[in-house]
Structure formats: C-alpha cells, structure tokens
Structure 1
Amino acid sequence: MSFQSFTDYLLLEKNYSALTVKAYQNDLEDFSEFIKTEYQTHSINKVNYQQIRSWIVLLVESGLSNRSINRKISALNTYYKFLLKIGDINLNPLAKHKALKTSKKIQVPFSEAEIEMALDDLNFGDDFESIRNKLIIEFFYSTGIRRIELVELKLTSIDLDNKTLKVLGKRNKERIVPLLKSVVQTTKKYLKLRSSLQSISSKDHLFLTKKGVKIYETLVYRIINDYFSSASSKVKKSPHILRHSFATHLLNQGADLNAVKELLGHSSLAATQVYTHNSIAELKKVHINAHPRSKK
C-alpha cells in the first residue's frame, strides 16, 4: 500500500529529515509485509493491537534491540495518529501500548578473528545472493555504515575510481567514507551480477533482492545473523554489532577518536566515546608492555 500522504505530512508539516521519513516508511512497509504474510491482510489501517503485538514478538525473537523495536513501533504509532488526524480511523490500536524497557548494557563487538572467519573462511559461492551478502558484510565492517544507510545506498553513491562511498546519514548529513581495495573488488563482482538480473524495478538502489527490488532492513539483519551464527557464539549478531566492531577495531589500532567520529557520521564525540570502552583492554596491554616501570 502507499504511504505517500503520510510521508508528505512528515516532510512538509512536521519537517522531518528525508532519512527519518524513509526510515518510517521502511518500518511501515516491514509491518505491511508481516500482516500480509501472517494474516492475509493488505491494509495496516485495519489491524488490532494483538496483531501488532505478534509483530513485536517476532522482532524480539529476531534479535533486534528493544530500542530499535521501540523506534519501529513509534513510527507505526505516528502513522496511526496521522490517520486519526485525517479521520481515516476512529481508534489508535497503539493507544495503550507501553514501550519496551531499554538498558544501557554494553554490546560486545565481534573479534577480529570472528570477522576474518565470516569473510574468509565461510563459503559464499559465486551467485548473485552470495556475492551480495559478502559485500553487505564488507560494507558494514569496512565503512561502519548504519543499516538504514546501507538500505538507501544508490548506485551513484559509489565512486570506484576514487575508492569512496557517499553516505547520507542522520539529519541529511552527507559524509564520504573510503573503500578498501578488497571491497572495491567485491563491488565490481556484485555490480556485474546485478546487471544480469532478469528484472530490476529499483534501478537506482545499490542493494537489491534477487527479484530486482530494493533490499529491506529485516533481510539485511537476517543475512548478518545467518553468516555470523557460523562464525561467532555471541548472542547478539546484528548489523549494529558490525558497526560497533568497525569502530572498536579502529580505536584498538590507534585511530584518532575524531576521525572515527567522522567515519561513523556522529554529530558529537559523546556518541563516539561509547565505543572506547572496548579499547581500554588493548590500551592496558600497550601500557604494560611499553611503560618503563611496568616490570617493577
């Protein structure tokens, strides 16, 4: 179904950024796909809270954080408030919903060995989906990109000659991220396979499904979770953990905090400093091994 009037409302009346609006639209489309599959219903305007609750349960079971789930439900709630405003519904099914509790528990990044196993030891194959999945992992780990940013990447976002990636982040802030040589090589393989798809409806977007439509967030999560289930025993295996690993491993290798901030697209150092706790152990090793008085 179309959410055009709702997205116009967010852009023009609420002054939301284009990226935020796109995230809301993706969340609504994800929920639409869920109720179509589970309840054979084609309109999210006519669902009840129990149906929404079953989606929440699925999201929890998929490993998505409570914070991310709350954001998705917030998007849905904003949509229902809009429908109430224009008189399309008489009751908001989320009127009495209480947000899931969130914690500040530190998320453990993948180790460098786990990343190497996922990228080098697992057999990806040479078909379209295999190369696409490998490229998605490489993008997350080598650029620190967010999941929604990856989903929204365009073909024009990539400059293979200059080995750079243009990313549109939060508040429409644009950043340029360098691409590793190995990522450029995988990208070239992927683009060749992408061009041979029988049908492409999302012509501008970089990452597609095998049916030629833009990839969606839940599929991206599933890809990361599936591959890292073979490479890692960690409970949490998500795109954000790869972003977390990207930042942590850079800091462990001595990268400047400000440089990591720019690569991640953070607006302040405070947001980046959450990743520094993981590098403390590495700093202790360096300190003990290098300090003149460490052996006394």
Structure 2
Amino acid sequence: MYIKEFCDYLKYERNYSALTVDSYERDLQHVGDFVRGMRNIDNDKAVEDSYIEEKIIRRWMASMLEAGNTASSVNRRLSSLRSYFKFLLRKGLCETDPTLRIAGPKKEKALPYFVKENEMEHLLDDVPFPDTFEGNRNRLILEMFYDTGMRVSELVSLDCNDIDMQGNRVKVTGKRNKQRVIPLAPLLMERIKVYLQKRSEAASNSEALYIDKKGRRLTDYKVRKMVSEELSLVTTMKKRSPHVLRHSFATAMLNHGADIEAVRRLLGHESLATTEIYTHTSMEELKKNYQLAHPRA
C-alpha cells in the first residue's frame, strides 16, 4: 500500500493538519491489518492494493460493527479508504476503485451537545477564578471559546499578533490553513488585556498567545482537560469539551436571532448544511420549553 505517499500528499499538497493526516494513516493501517489477517500475509510482506477487494471491504466493515464500533467510526474509516483509492487512480497506481459500490452503515443524526446560557453565565460571572496567570488564562480561554466558537486547534495555534487590539478582532487559522476574522466583544477585550499583563510577568519569549507556566505554547490536551474540569462545576453533561462550547456559541447566536449565514462564516463552515444542525438544536430546546410550560402541551 502507498500509505506514506498518500499521507505526504495530504500534508504537502492538501495542507491537512498533522492530526488529520495521522487519522487517515491509522484508518488505512487498520484496513491493511484486516486484509493481512484475511489473506494470512506474513508481517514482513507488503499488503498489495489489489488485495483490497469489494468483498474484503464489506467483511472489514461488518467486523467493525460486530466489534461495537459506531456507524460514524465505520463511515469515517470507509471515507479514508475512498480518499486513498481516489488518490491512487489520479496517480495511475491502480485501475479500479473497490469502494465505488459500497455504502456505509446508516447512522442517526445526533444533535450537538451544548451548555445552557444560564450555566455559562454562572461559570463566567459567578465562579471565582484565582487572580493569577493561570486563573486569568483559563477564564479567558473559556470565554473566548464561548464568545467566538473557534475550534480548540485554532485557539492553541493563536499568536499574540493575531489579536487586533485596535480593531477588537482576532485572526483565526482554521482547517486547511483557511483564515477568517472574528469580532471580539468589549468585555472579552478587557479580559485579554488583563491576561496579557499577567502573561508578560511570565517572561516568555514565545509568540503563542496561550502559554503554560514555563512559557511553552499550551497544548490542546491541557486545554481540553481544563475545559472539562471547569464545565463540571456548572453542568452534569458527560460531554464537557471545547467543541461543546463551540456548539454552545452557535446555539446561543441562533437563539438570539443571528443570521445563519453569519454564524456559518464565524464558525468557518464551508457548507451551510453543517451549520443548519444548530437550528434543529434550537427547535428541540423550544419544544422542551413548550412541553414544560404550556398547560395543554
């Protein structure tokens, strides 16, 4: 299999992030391991692409479902394999695509999790954060997620010069290095100014906006951990991640009458269909309120 060549293509020609490329690589290694087992191929021998036949792919998918994998996981791996064979066809490295007639398992469309507005207001306005470098940083991160809807990968990659202090806005680099500008609320700008003062006391030479106590760029793992811990103070939801705050931002915007196209641009979605799922979330919440409050519901 031409896994390395495919991953190099994704990285250098398509500008995919390292995390995305790693995900594709794991998916292809997974199908390669399955084919190796099905055909009893020795570990020291390569798995040929011609071995990946339609019936093999169907068995591979069935084995994943039997092992308890969700339809979403199976479809993601199948999508990686489709992309791989499209690459091979373009490069003239194979003649047929065995994934063409294969449909992925159907999945129920789950609505996004989001934190309620009163819970976020309680966290940001009432929960005490220590007046330290880390305390101010963590509070700012939570508020920036909720006020901008940016992804965790976008937040940790921010540099100090991405913040336009005069224009009250931030330049965000999203998927495939696409950039967008998000306005910043006055209160959030005040939080940024306080944090930058505390940050300067850390005496870091790093360009990164968010750093740890040693002056190193904050990792997405540490941000996820912090967000989960802080959200546990105001919600009992099992999912307590930066992406939940992204969902919360979009839901709050639409609930307060924002134009869906404007929300799409702020989130950095390519397709309006991706943003429209938040309108369903808002409707579900509206139905719950109606059923709880109306005497004849």
Q: In the superposition, relative to structure 1, how do residues 122 and 283 fare at CA in structure 2: closer, same or farther (>3 Å)?
A: closer
| Higher mean C-alpha displacement, 230-239 vs 99-108 | 99-108
Q: In the superposition, relative to structure 1, how do residues 126 and 259 fare at CA in structure 2: closer, same or farther (>3 Å)?
A: same
Q: Gapped runs of 5+ residues in structure 2?
A: 31-42, 47-59, 73-106, 291-295
Partner residue of 1:21 out of 17, 22, 25: 17
Q: CA deviation at 1:281?
A: 5.0
Q: CA deviation at 1:208?
A: 0.7
Distance in 2 (CA, whole Å) between partners of 1:120 and 1:129 is 17
Q: CA deviation at 1:105?
A: 2.2
Q: Give per-residue Cα distances to partners, 1:255-277, cap 9 Å, x unaligned.
A: 10000000000111011011111
Partner residue of 2:134 out of 129, 136, 139: 129
Q: CA deviation at 1:196?
A: 1.3
Q: Give per-residue Cα distances to partners, 1:233-274, cap 9 Å, x unaligned.
A: 111111011000100011001110000000000111011011
Residue 272 of structure 2 is aligned to residue 269 of structure 1? yes
Q: CA deviation at 1:163?
A: 0.4
How much identity, in percent, do the aligned residues show? 38
Give the structure 2 partner of residue 10 of structure 1: 8
TM-score w.r.t. the length of structure 2 is: 0.66
- Check conservation: 1:23, 1:148, Cα contact below 8 A: no
Q: CA deviation at 1:177?
A: 0.4
Q: In the superposition, relative to structure 1, how do residues 12 and 265 fare at CA in structure 2: closer, same or farther (>3 Å)?
A: closer
Q: CA deviation at 1:285?
A: 10
Give the structure 2 partner of residue 231 of structure 1: 234
Q: Given residue 207 of structure 2, which amino acid in structure 1 is its aligned partner?
A: D
Distance in 1 (CA, whole Å) between partners of 2:11 and 2:278 is 36
Aligned pairs, number: 223
Q: How does 1:193-272 map to 2 (within 5 A)?
A: 193-200=198-205, 203-272=206-275
- Check conservation: 1:164, 1:179, Cα contact below 8 A: yes
Give the structure 2 partner of residue 279 of structure 1: 282
Secondary structure of the structure 1 residue equivalent to 2:145: helix
Give the structure 2 partner of residue 185 of structure 1: 190
Q: In the superposition, relative to structure 1, how do residues 11 and 165 fare at CA in structure 2: closer, same or farther (>3 Å)?
A: farther
Give the structure 2 partner of residue 169 of structure 1: 174
Partner residue of 1:155 out of 139, 152, 160: 160
Secondary structure of the structure 2 residue equivalent to 1:230: coil
Q: Give per-residue Cα distances to partners, 1:196-228, cap 9 Å, x unaligned.
A: 11444xx11111111111111111111111111
Q: Give per-residue Cα distances to partners, 1:142-184, cap 9 Å, x unaligned.
A: 0010110001111111001110011111122211100011110
Q: Gapped runs of 5+ residues in structure 1?
A: 1-5, 25-70, 81-88, 288-294
Distance in 2 (CA, whole Å) between partners of 1:263 and 1:76 is 31
Structure of larger gyration radius? 2
Q: In the superposition, relative to structure 1, how do residues 174 and 280 fare at CA in structure 2: closer, same or farther (>3 Å)?
A: same
Distance in 2 (CA, whole Å) between partners of 1:72 and 1:238 is 21
